[in-house]
Amino acid sequence: MSGLHVVVVTGLSGAGRSTALRVLEDLDFFCVDNLPPSLAPALLETLSADAVARGVGLGIDVRTGGLLEGVSGVLDSLASSGHQVEVLFLDCADEILVRRFSESRRPHKLAPGGELWEAIQTERARLAKLRARATHVVDTTRLNVHDLRRVIVEFIERGSLGARMVTRVVSFGFKYGIPTDADLVFDLRHLPNPYFEPALRPQSGLDPVVAKFVLDAPATQEFYADIRQLLLNALPRYEKEGKSYLTIALGCTGGRHRSVATAEALAAELRSLGRETAVAHRDVERVKA
């Protein structure tokens, strides 16, 4: 049985445990919240046999009750079975936790009738052993959900090779509207237009002669270089923020010539840089009115 990457997500209520588990799910981890620790070995054995996940995220908090006492022994057993076990502990300043519960109007698990300060101290005491064996402690006092997502992604992806973000390059025509899912939009309507060349008008940017006309133009080469440099700077930052998908939209007037040729060239270059890239041409087959 091959070992799995097991991340135990624990910490104080209100410190971001649910958010961390959602991030792990986005990173292809199989996540289970509040699973009795004694059931973890059977779960990992099943997942290892089926190879259905990149790793396993186990959410553990004070709801586990008296079963918390057995957590350390279970984690030691998992590690001795060949699994890579890490404990991610989410901490936060007491006053911030009080504020978060007050703003959300959610009851604390240990204080259904109030007394938040006392409940937080009780929870700290019950989780002390887990915090002591944490491999990574994140203080979320000054983090918003986006900051926490970035921290979790960096924690999981540390030392990994290659990009996980999927990039999609889409060509479109402005006359039909900008794609609603576009993250970045580039306007190519200022570039030389094959539409005004009678021999090229019936063809599209997928035809080599049209692609050469568009891509060899000095104006295109200059603008393409600008787009390329911007993306080389921006894409790693999108990944660092934990973005899973990025859509780059390239538009010309009708979405048939300039945008298509440039989208094909850009997608090919991104693939050559090792990025998982898909390309689509939304309007290339539209019939002119």
Say what the pLDDT of residue 116 is: 79
Q: State the Cα torsion 196-200-201-203 to the nearest 10°.
A: -150
* Rounded Cα gap, residues 24 and 228, in angstroms: 31
Express each pLDDT in 119-147 by its tens digit.
888 899 989 888 888 888 898 988 888 88
Percentage of the residues of the chain whose pLDDT score is greater than 90: 47
- What is the pLDDT at residue 52? 67
Of 260, 180, 193, 262, residue with least CA distance to 227: 262
Q: Global pTM?
A: 0.58
Task: Return the pLDDT at 251.
Answer: 97
Q: Write out pLDDT tens, residues 15-42.
A: 999 999 999 998 889 999 988 888 999 9
Dmax over Cα atoms in the chain, in whole Å? 80
Q: Can you tell me the distance from the alpha carbon of 36 to that of 28, in angstroms, rounded to the nearest whole number?
A: 22
Contacts of 79 (CB under 8 A, 6+ apart): 85
Query: Structural domains in the chain?
Result: 5-157 (3.40.50.300), 166-281 (no CATH)
Alpha-carbon distances of 85 from 19, 77, 88, 153, 258, rounded to whole Å: 20, 10, 10, 17, 51
